[in-house]
Chains A and B, each alone.
Chain A
């Protein structure tokens, strides 16, 4: 591959992605892929389809001091998007922005913790080809939250104990054989876990966000209050860990495949839940416009997610992962109900291996999906 001066290249790319031909002055100067190729002796068209090359160019450009300061917490990344039928690909741009505005905590010296947060966050993907758009939402959020955590560690180590732990961990870090390491680490892991207790985490958030499909054909503003709950039994001997009924089937599989030496469900993967109520402004939603229902409405939502280790070898781990989401419009009109737009339920479950193989099943629909779908997917993902 020829050497490229990336900032120059990105400027060329910026001109080209805006259309196949850009005229600097009407009828005076024409800048096209063919013209640039002729001038520079490089076929730029193939680079235009390569997000990796574009990201190197972008990284080079954004590391320039002036631009780095200007971009601040903005993160940009070129990506390749695939259409639903996988026949067409298109270049696009992923973006994210996160800015803490206020962070105040009410610290305690033990494990308990409370904090108040106020931040702006935006994330999404935009394809340069409107016909090839990713399915996930573009999500922009202004959030205000109160977080509280109780428990997690029961007893503080003595200085002598902590020094011994540090030395043991340093020695374990020298071990390169997984089986030997697991055996050697067993006692220390158990000693530390015996000090851990249940952690109860609660987060209340008020947020304003924009929900949209990728083409921005369907958008709606949402202001909502959400309660996030995350309960973890970090000590495997805790009663709460044994009550994690969701993990029992996987505990049996781990036991039968020798991953766990004893039959013990994990308290570290108790499902996380999110409950919300909010006001939705659908004034830019053409589906609701066609139904004559553009007034703001109240909506409740619920989501719960669960993930568990199924089996593990020295090279590969297989996880079961699932998510269920439910949205319900409160006081929906008969027109909305007749159009099946008053509630949306979506469930997805997947078996995913760390080497990239996965099998997933999903059913239901999200607020911007037109139809209920049942989708099975078998595929392979690369972790770069």
Chain B
């Protein structure tokens, strides 16, 4: 798994997408360790089922921003469903971090600015 780095386009674009979507506003260097339970959508008073609905909706919107705003493409063999489900799984676990999300996205998406990008 990669380390949270400003030189990693998957990490920086995950971080900025979460800012655009009002989930977290911290500077990049202090964002890698932010836990999912500290994201704006995570409501500890809600049931797990409600958080699951919110997590999948947010994962779909992050995928939309990646593909349509940043023109990210899927890595070879990765489908849209797999990428969304991977994000949904992390966004459903309050103990996961923004770094975990960025690293998973690094595995599933090819971002502009990555070495060897399209």
Contacts of A234 in B (CB 8 A): 20-21, 61
Q: In angstroms, how far is the closest chain B Cβ from the Cβ of A44? A: 28
Q: Does B2 contact A (CB under 8 A)?
A: no
CA distance A230 to B49 in the complex (A): 12
B46 touching A350 by the CB < 8 A rule?
A: no
Q: Given A103-B81, A163-B112, A199-B61, are A274 and B49 also a contact pair (CB < 8 Å)?
A: yes
Question: B64-90 interface mask toward A, CB cutoff 8 Å, 1 = contact, 0 = none?
Answer: 110011110000000111101100010
B69 touching A230 by the CB < 8 A rule?
A: no
Q: Does B27 contact A (CB under 8 A)?
A: yes
| A205, closest chain B residue (CB) | B49
| B38, closest chain A residue (CB) | A354
Question: B26-41 interface mask toward A, CB cutoff 8 Å, 1 = contact, 0 = none?
Answer: 1111100001011011
B60 touching A323 by the CB < 8 A rule?
A: no
Query: Which bracket fits the contact residues of B?
Result: 35 or more
Partner of B9, one of A105, A166, A354: A166
| A98, closest chain B residue (CB) | B89
A323 touching B46 by the CB < 8 A rule?
A: yes
Contacting residues of chain A (46-91) with chain B, CB-CB under 8 angstroms: none
CA distance A266 to B28 in the complex (A): 23
A152 touching B45 by the CB < 8 A rule?
A: no
A174 touching B48 by the CB < 8 A rule?
A: no
Stretch from A10-18, A22-30, A178-186, A291-299 contacting the other chain: A178-186
Contacting residues of chain A (166-204) with chain B, CB-CB under 8 angstroms: 166-167, 169-170, 172-178, 181-182, 185, 188-189, 192-193, 195-196, 199, 201, 203
Contacts of B49 in A (CB 8 A): 226, 228, 274, 303
Contacting residues of chain A (249-276) with chain B, CB-CB under 8 angstroms: 266, 268-269, 272, 274
Known A103-B81, A196-B65, A303-B47; 14 more pairs at CB < 8 Å: A100-B85, A107-B79, A162-B71, A165-B69, A169-B15, A177-B27, A185-B19, A188-B16, A230-B53, A230-B54, A266-B22, A305-B54, A348-B45, A349-B45
Interface pairs (8), CB distance under 8 Å: A157-B69, A166-B112, A172-B12, A172-B16, A182-B25, A196-B20, A234-B61, A274-B47
B residues with a Cβ closer than 8 A to A are 6, 9, 12-13, 15-16, 19-22, 25-30, 35, 37-38, 40-50, 52-54, 56-57, 60-61, 63-65, 68-71, 79-82, 84-85, 89, 111-113
A residues with a Cβ closer than 8 A to B are 98, 100, 103-105, 107, 110-111, 113, 115, 117, 123, 139, 147, 149, 152-153, 155-157, 159, 162-163, 165-167, 169-170, 172-178, 181-182, 185, 188-189, 192-193, 195-196, 199, 201, 203, 226, 228-230, 232, 234, 266, 268-269, 272, 274, 303, 305-307, 309, 312, 319, 321-323, 325, 348-350, 352, 354, 360, 383
